[in-house]
């Protein structure tokens, strides 16, 4: 049975949006779980920071570089079930991470997680937009809530599950990935029907004209990329090293360091959720500039000899 134009223009399809939110959780859970278990992997395989950095680099490159490639391909040929394939790749990465007997397999596992993320996001975001009706902000917020929850839960679950039960317990989180695959399979069927209806509607009404030139759009995207890159670089570096700093310099236990990482990533998730409402009230540009400048390294640095809880003096050149 086809979908009518009235249904396409109506309110959001909440069941689909809720399913996307739940399926987004295991994806971002795997993202934050990986750096959270670095201390365990470092001890288990006697790794140095260069090897830890390689794992992070493989994950970030596959997740970031392949994402626009997957998006360009899906623009030309929609793939309703590609999010299922993405979660399946993530699941394979988690399983390999759980049983890897040597360091050489760890970057491969990280690459599978990154590849799964790159495949998951383009079509999942498009499904969220199709299910939004006329409420795009609500749809994006619901989609992000699941991912934010996964981002925050990763370190917490690492502290209370992986630290207690070891590397093999990473496989337990595959249950969330399996549930996500089941939900996304149903969502893929809905997307295939709705996309066909949208195509028929577009053919009958004609394409919508854009008000911005291609040059203006390209310049705007270039500026955003220039702003996002250093912020993402800094946050990725911080999340990878933070637990090691707390363990080696501050002297906190491994589990406590992961709880503190949960606090940091939880604040990142909260910022993502609050960014939309704040942007509506204060304007988009102040929020963008505030978020970019807010992650810059502070000029106040502590020498390694300063004990926790004491104020530091501003750094001096030379």
Contact yes or no for 83/184 (Cβ under 8 A): yes
Helix (H) or strand (E) holding 52, with range, is: helix 49-76
Reported as a single tens digit per residue, the pLDDT across 8-59 is 455 568 888 888 889 999 998 988 888 889 999 999 999 998 999 899 889 9
Prediction pTM value: 0.74
CA–CA separation, 134 vs 12, rounded Å?
Answer: 7
Q: Is residue 300 in some structural domain?
A: no
Cα–Cα nearest to 120, from 99, 94, 143 = 143
Q: Is residue 216 in some structural domain?
A: no
CATH number at residue 47: 1.20.1250.20
Contact yes or no for 19/187 (Cβ under 8 A): yes
Q: Is residue 298 in some structural domain?
A: no
Cα–Cα nearest to 240, from 31, 9, 19 = 31
Structural domain of 186: 5-204
Q: Is residue 45 in some structural domain?
A: yes
Reported as a single tens digit per residue, the pLDDT across 105-145 is 999 999 999 999 889 988 888 888 888 876 776 777 788 88
Q: Is residue 286 in some structural domain?
A: no
pLDDT value for 206: 53
Q: Is residue 240 in some structural domain?
A: no
> Mean pLDDT of successive 10-residue segments in the chain (318 residues)?
48 81 90 88 91 90 82 76 92 94 94 92 85 74 83 86 90 91 89 70 55 78 76 75 86 86 79 71 77 61 45 43
State the total domains in the chain.
1
Q: Is residue 317 in some structural domain?
A: no
Q: Is residue 165 in some structural domain?
A: yes
């Amino acid at each position: 049975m086809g979908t009518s134009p009235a249904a396409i223009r109506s309110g959001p399809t909440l069941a689909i949006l809720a399913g996307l939110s739940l399926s987004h959780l295991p994806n971002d859970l795997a993202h934050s779980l990986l750096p959270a278990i670095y201390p365990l992997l470092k001890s288990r395989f006697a790794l140095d920071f260069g090897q830890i950095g390689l794992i992070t680099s493989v994950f970030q490159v596959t997740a970031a570089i392949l994402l626009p490639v997957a998006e360009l391909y899906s623009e030309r040929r929609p793939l309703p079930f590609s999010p299922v394939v993405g979660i399946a790749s993530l699941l394979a990465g988690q399983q390999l991470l759980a049983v890897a007997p040597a360091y050489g397999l760890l970057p491969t596992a990280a690459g599978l997680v990154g590849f799964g993320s790159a495949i998951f996001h383009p079509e999942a975001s498009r499904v969220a937009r199709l299910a939004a009706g006329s409420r795009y902000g609500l749809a994006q917020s619901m989609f992000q809530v699941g991912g934010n929850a996964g981002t925050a839960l990763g370190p917490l679950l690492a502290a209370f599950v992986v630290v207690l039960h070891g590397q093999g317990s990473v496989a337990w989180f595959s249950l969330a990935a399996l549930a996500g695959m089941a939900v996304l399979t149903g969502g893929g069927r809905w997307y295939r029907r709705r996309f066909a209806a949208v195509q028929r509607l577009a053919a009958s009404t004609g394409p919508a004209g854009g008000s911005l030139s291609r040059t203006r759009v390209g310049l705007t995207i270039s500026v955003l990329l220039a702003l996002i890159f250093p912020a993402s670089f800094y946050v990725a570096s911080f999340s990878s090293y933070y637990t090691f700093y707390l363990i080696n310099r501050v002297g906190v236990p491994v589990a406590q360091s992961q709880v503190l990482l949960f606090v940091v990533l939880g604040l990142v998730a909260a910022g993502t959720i609050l960014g939309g409402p704040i942007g509506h009230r204060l304007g988009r540009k102040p929020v963008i500039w505030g978020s970019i400048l807010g992650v810059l390294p502070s000029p106040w640095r502590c020498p390694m000899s300063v004990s926790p809880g004491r104020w530091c003096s501003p750094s001096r050149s030379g």
